[in-house]
Amino acid sequence: MHAGRLIFSQLLDFFPQHPFNVCVQRYRGNRKVSRFCCRDQFLCMAFSQLTYRESLRDIVTCLQAMRPKLYHVGLRGSLSRSTLADANEVRDWRIYADFAAVLIARARQLYAQDSFGVDLDQTVYAFDSTTIDLCLSLFPWAQFRRHKSAVKLHTLIDLRGNIPCFVHVSSGSMADVTSLDLLPIEPGAFYIMDRGYIDFARLYTFTQGLAFFVTRAKRTLDYARRGYRPVDKTTGLRSDSTIVLCGPKSSGLYPDPLRRVSYHAADIDKHFVFLTNNFSLPALTIAQLYRCRWQVELFFKWIKQNLRIKAFYGTSDNAVKTQIWIAICVYVLVAIVKKELKVERSLAEILQILSVSLFENMPILQAFSQDSITMENNVFHNQLSLFN
């Protein structure tokens, strides 16, 4: 793989060129483009994510400093700040959204056998959203409140590998619960959500789609118990009941029975009540599944700390979505590299190493090696030792 190549070039060995070209052709991304194609744009924006660049000028200045090496990583176009800015403004962000879907499919295959803490054969997803605050004067199209703009990332992650399987970028004014209408429902899969997503009409679509959900119940839930199952209270469980909704509206929106599981988490001294449409799993497994929902919160924290998605290089809707989707592509690509090369380091450590070594001429596995570099002690030095 090495053969005297740059680490950036070796990283791009995991870049599927043909599927990328298909995505570009689908949206005519290279139409009337002669000098700075979509691949060049992707490489520049990926470089900015991997090396934590602050602005377009920062990106271009750093890349131009490496001009003799750019050809070897496949960056052939004429590079300038205005060219990159125009590409982000004009070229359809869906090119990179579709390409992210290609990388996600590959990553999910690689992480399909990973454990996420619960012994379960079915696919388990966690769904939530995070808000990125913006300046109203610069991003008026994303107005959130009277004096504030924001975008939301509605994200569904596969808990095996924490791979984002579905991402919808919206303005901050979009209600979280309405994003359920956009979710792809996979029969047999589990969807874990917090109680902000309780809408019984929308939850019933999961039941009709033969999928399962686990969420927290609201305190004002109007229900009647139709049966119960014994529980081991030493595990933290308090009750496991079959209920039906009694509210005049909710009972019509969700006519089927539901399962209500009450659980006390001793480690944080907090009581939880879960709702699910699954009646076959043990009650303790339902509680453990909801605990895994925290992984999506950790995912949001990770990408905000390690990728450039809190400050944007452009102010248009297209530029913001382009940057977000390329950031997701970089995250998934690094996850693929970690699995393919069997690297023991964390994703954060891999990104930190890449940030200072992209243009180094060395084997990529050597860069990720955890073996410390030690100097040989048997080398003759033409200098006396002070303590010998």
Statement to judge: residues 257 and 341 lie in one domain? no
Statement to judge: residues 227 and 287 lie in one domain? yes
Number of domains within the chain: 2
Local structure of 272: helix, strand or coil: strand
In a domain, 218, yes or no: yes
Alpha carbon separation from 278 to 221, 286, 373 (Å, rounded): 19, 9, 53
Single-letter amino acid code for the residue at 56 = L
Copy the structure tokens of residue 12: 């791009």
Last residue within a domain, chosen from 292, 322, 355 = 292
Last residue within a domain, chosen from 263, 292, 321 = 292
Statement to judge: residues 276 and 355 lie in one domain? no
In a domain, 266, yes or no: yes
Of 167, 210, 177, 186, nearest to 296 (Cα)? 167
The dihedral region occupied by 261, where left means phi > 0, alpha psi between -120 and 50, and beta the remainder, is: beta
In a domain, 202, yes or no: yes
Q: What local confidence, expressed as pLDDT, does residue 2 receive? A: 52
Last residue within a domain, chosen from 257, 292, 327 = 292
The radius of gyration computed from the CA coordinates of the chain, to the nearest angstrom, equals 25
133 strand-pairing partners: 150
In a domain, 181, yes or no: no
Question: Whole-prediction pTM value?
Answer: 0.90
Q: Residues near 148 by Cβ (< 8 Å), separated by ≥ 6?
A: 133, 134, 136, 172
In a domain, 34, yes or no: yes
In a domain, 17, yes or no: yes
Q: What local confidence, expressed as pLDDT, does residue 251 receive? A: 92
Residues spanned by the domain of 233: 194-292
Statement to judge: residues 20 and 83 lie in one domain? yes
pLDDT mean values, one per 10 residues, the chain (388 residues): 79 94 94 88 95 93 91 84 94 96 95 89 94 93 90 95 94 92 94 94 96 94 93 93 94 95 92 95 94 93 92 94 96 95 93 93 88 43 48
Q: What local confidence, expressed as pLDDT, does residue 387 receive? A: 46
Statement to judge: residues 70 and 29 lie in one domain? yes
Q: Residues near 298 by Cβ (< 8 Å), separated by ≥ 6?
A: 162
Statement to judge: residues 204 and 279 lie in one domain? yes
In a domain, 355, yes or no: yes
Q: What local confidence, expressed as pLDDT, does residue 58 receive? A: 95
Statement to judge: residues 214 and 280 lie in one domain? yes
Statement to judge: residues 286 and 344 lie in one domain? no
